[in-house]
Structure 1
Amino acid sequence: MTPPPLPRRLLAEYLGSALLAAIVIGSGIMATTLTPDVGVQLLINALATAMGLTVLILVFGPVGGAHFNPAVTLAIATLGGMRWRDAPAYVVAQIAGCASGAILGNAMFALPAVTISTTARATGANLLAEVVAAAGLVLVILALVRSNRLDWVAPAVGAYIGSAYFFTASTSFANPAITIGRILSDTFAGIAPASAPPFIAAQLLGAAIAVGLAVLLYPRTVIVVAETPGDPGEPGTLTDAAAHVEPETQRSGAH
């Protein structure tokens, strides 16, 4: 299976990331409008994000892999599921998308397009929570891909993120691009600029841990990637990789 052209995949990543950020920020604003109860606000935000993310993966996954997350992109590239040369473009599309989605979320509620968040979040507990949240998210994805269960990615990721809102102290950002986007909204879901770099470092550490765990837990399964005509042996998207999984005893490949 030949992957779609890179521009089409980048458009899918941009749109999916933008809509994800709009969902996260918009539902947070709506939640604070509907109720003063912080617990109910978090529940509204979590449910909207979990359900919205599930749908976005189903819509954009067949085009660009539905990463929407630099940590996921780097993990997939590390295990050979996409071309390393495509990874930077994916990351740029994801960050641009999340920034655009934050602006859209603000605008939908008649707020200034950009309001820099003042919510400081970089506590020790929150940083540990981000390591756990990102490790869990990336491990869920890699485990399903490496065991050839691609149909379960959308519901499993949605369910994990929904639950991680409540079992992590940080409410599970787990995504460097969405972390950057949330700087642009001084609302329920925002994060202060000074808190973003340590959050992103924690998320990348979590992703690295997940890569190691995935290789340990699924050592005999490798991602065998699609080959593009005229460019043999180079990997395609996450969707392509997940569609071509074979036992290691039959064919070797990159982890």
Structure 2
Amino acid sequence: MSLALAPVRTTTAARTEAPLTAAPRISGSAIRSAAPLQAPTGAAPTAPLADRAPRVRAVPEGTEARGFVLYVGIDESKADVDGTTLHRIVEALRALTGEIAPSAETYAAVALAPAGAGGRDVDVVRLALQDPAALAKQRDAGDARADADRHPNGVIIDISRKRVLLDGEPAGLTYKEFELLQFLVLREGRTIDRHELIDNLWAGEEEVPSERTIDVHVRRLRSKLAHYQDIVRTVRGVGYRFDRHADVSIRQASTPSPDLY
């Protein structure tokens, strides 16, 4: 979980306001009493700060700046390691803002993401709170992946779209074959025995396959993977394992597959 602090309240469906607890105030006196920087000897005198024109970047003609957003990337576990909480960080930032600019209005929102989604905390925050630059970057990345689909080399295991491409061509896996491959991919590097595959992929079905049937499913899957079939490796006497190669690309949405619990 991560958070963002903005002096101007905006409305976003993805935001969830968090209850905040009191925290020690951070004094802004050190900032206000800091000695002014001295110009080097012989340097041209600079205009007093009050006389300088305000500099705000990327403000289009006809608009004015009304506030700012500070994206803070930190989850609850990292905050705990640092000896604090998200609520205390928010309250401290609010207190500091009140010290520096008493007229400022603040609004705090907590950015939520699926557990285990991965990625940099601050990037997750920006996407969850609909930051335009982050959204544009995500769209550009999606366009790049679409272009790669047109002339790819190697194996693309696209979990989000439930498909496998071999050198740009669909592998033609059945539903159960894809589920079998996905189960192994999401547990990369771990050998899965046949009983675990049966318990997870055939749970609740009337006909439960035997270990020999599992071997048949794996053999059919490997045959469809053609010259890339060694990504599904047989561990003799144990089960099967997915081994990633340099020419294998795995794609999945920010929300993990429901298969991964």
Global fold match (TM > 0.5)? no
- Computing the radius of gyration over CA atoms, which structure comes out larger, 1 or 2? 2
Q: Name the one with the larger strand percent.
A: 2
The alignment's TM-score, normalised by the length of structure 2, stands at: 0.19
Q: Name the one with the larger helix percent.
A: 1
The alignment's TM-score, normalised by the length of structure 1, stands at: 0.19
